[in-house]
Each structure stands twice: as structure tokens, then as C-alpha cells.
Amino acid sequence: MSEKVLITGADGFIGSHLTEALLEAGYDVRAFVYYNSFNSWGWLDTIPKEKLSQIEIFSGDIRDPNGVAESMKEIDYVFHLAALIAIPFSYHSPDSYVDTNIKGTLNVLQAARNLGTKRVLITSTSEVYGTAQYVPIDESHPYQGQSPYSATKIGADRLAESFYRSFDLPVTIVRPFNTYGPRQSARAVIPTIITQLLSGAKEIKLGNLEATRDFNYVKDTVAGFIELAETEKAIGEEVNIATGVEVSIGELAKNIIEQINPHAKIVCDEIRLRPEKSEVDRLLGDNNKILSLTNWRPQYDLNTGIAETIEWIKENLNSYKADRYNI
């Protein structure tokens, strides 16, 4: 019998790709989606019906411990991705980030402990490191809560560590650097640039152009999740998923502009700038740990990943509000 897996946040960007990849890898998949009166399953609604029919859908709310525990019954592996992730939104609604990111993670950990779940993979973020104090950033780098979002993810990570150390819960903290690709919302920089360009904008509005990031194509990120789940060497570890390549937002924007409309110009939009002490100026990940623990290797360079993302957004431009600043 194949292992039964649960993906929280399966209706989201990375979660929907991970759900598909686990299904293709032969796992018995249960997808935890956010309950709503529209009966929307997020991005899972867009996958082929023959695939969707093979997925067990569980509608719930990660903030509700009873629903979380119910969803995790008879589950071997939990991939916990459900979270609030937009940094600007966390500035004015931090309570919701505490409830979702910290309490939601606690609900998963408590249920896993009570149910004897075989493996729990908690999704972290490179934002927990804040601006690089040294590069490349390895897993020993200090944490710095430069936004309410990153602070709640630090809290969730440390809760996960505590359950491993206190209760021997088989936890792995998976820490992707900036992931991009099809289905990503326009609150992220790559779809922000692409949607403005495809909508015909001559001036592309962006924030800090000097900040650097280490970008993972989403298919590489989900492959990293699966590789880490399939090795016991990752139990009790926190592991970066990174390419080891950094690019500034300005360089990134110029690359995308050249592919779509070389005549477009970049302009700084003040509203898109983070508060000075909250801006993460540099992220460049060290991937030696995941390379040593697994057979994972990034398969997509930035140009290839962006090209695929552009083609997908061209076909789905109506799903975006390119004339608005999405937080």
C-alpha cells in the first residue's frame, strides 16, 4: 500500500504543485484546502479532472485544532504549507499571522504527536534569516524577524524544533528560498513584473531594485520537499532549498522586460517599498545540506523558469489585476 500523505495549503501556489507531484509519484493524497462558502479549492480547481478525481479533498481551517486533527487521521506524512505569506499584509494584520502561522503549525504538531504521524514537514522561509549577515546563508545563520510575517515563521519553526526535541516527533523544517512559477499571485515580484508587461504597461512599478534574492522554480522546490520526506537523514533537521545564485530585483526586471517589451521602463513606486529596517537587502542560500542529504539538484535555471512562467501567465492573465498593487 502506498503511503498516505496530507498537504495543508494544497489549494495555494506551491501546495497545488506539490499535490500534483506527490500524486504523480504514487502517493495516496489528501489535500487540505481552506473552507469557504464558494466551495473553491483554489488552484486545485484548475488541474485536469482525471487527476482531481484521485485526490481526497478535505475542507477546513488550519486555525481549528479539531478540523486539523480530523484531517490527519490515517495519514503517514504531513506536508504543512498552509500559511499567510504576504509581507505587506502582515504590517497591518499581524494578529492573523500569529493565528494562522503559529497556532496553525501548533495544531499540526499536536495532532501529529497524538496520532503518531510518521513524518511531519514544516514549511519555513528564507525570510527568517532577514538580511544576510554572511553569504551564502547556511542553516546556522542567525534569525531576524524583520516583518511580522517572518517573526511568525520563526516562531513556527521553533515550535517544530521543540516538538522534535521534547517529544521525538519526526519533524523536518523545509526552508525554501524565493519560489516562483505558474500559479503564483501578483503579490510576488516575478508575476508583478510579468503581468504589468503583458497588460501593456510602459512603466513597470516596483519597489527596492537593489535587494537580491535566490529564486527557486516551483518544480525544483516541490522536488526538494519530496526528496527530504523520503530520507530519514532529514529528521530533526532544518534544510534550505536554494540555488546558490543571487540576482537583484533590478537585474531580474531588466531580464523579464527584454523577453516581453524591451521599450518598457522601470519606475520606483513608493508604496511598494518596505519600511527601511524591515527590508531584507540580501538573500543568497547555501544548498550544501540538501545536496548532502538527498539526490536533489535544481533542474531549472532562472531564464528557463521565467520563460515557462511568462507562457503560463499569458494564458491566465485574466486571473490577475495587473493595474493594482497586490499586497
**pLDDT score at 2:** 81
Task: Give the confidence band of 1 by pLDDT, cuts at 50, 70, 90.
Answer: very low
Q: Per-residue pLDDT averaged across 102-107, rounded?
A: 98
In sequence order, which residues have a C-beta less than 8 Å from that of residue 323 and are 6 or more positions away?
Answer: 199
130 close to 77: Cβ distance less than 8 angstroms: no
- pLDDT tops 80 at residue 98: yes
Structure-model confidence comparison of residues 326 and 54, the more confident one: 54
Strands 56-60, 28-34: pairing kind? parallel
**pLDDT score at 326:** 85
pTM: 0.97
**pLDDT score at 323:** 85
**What pLDDT digit, counting tens, does each position of 214-241 carry?**
999 999 999 999 999 999 999 999 999 9
Domains with residue ranges and CATH for the chain: 4-180+215-241 (3.40.50.720)
**What pLDDT digit, counting tens, does each position of 201-219 carry?**
999 999 999 999 999 999 9
Q: Report the distance separating Cα 205 and Cα 192, nearest Å.
A: 9
**What pLDDT digit, counting tens, does each position of 270-326 carry?**
999 999 999 999 999 999 999 999 999 999 999 999 999 999 999 999 999 988 888
Q: What are the grid coordinates assigned to 69, written together?
A: 486533527
Average pLDDT of the chain is 97
Task: Give the confidence band of 327 by pLDDT, cuts at 50, 70, 90.
Answer: confident
Q: Report the distance separating Cα 184 and Cα 216, nearest Å.
A: 12
Strands 171-176, 119-123: pairing kind? parallel
Q: Per-residue pLDDT averaged across 174-182, rounded?
A: 98
- pLDDT tops 70 at residue 53: yes
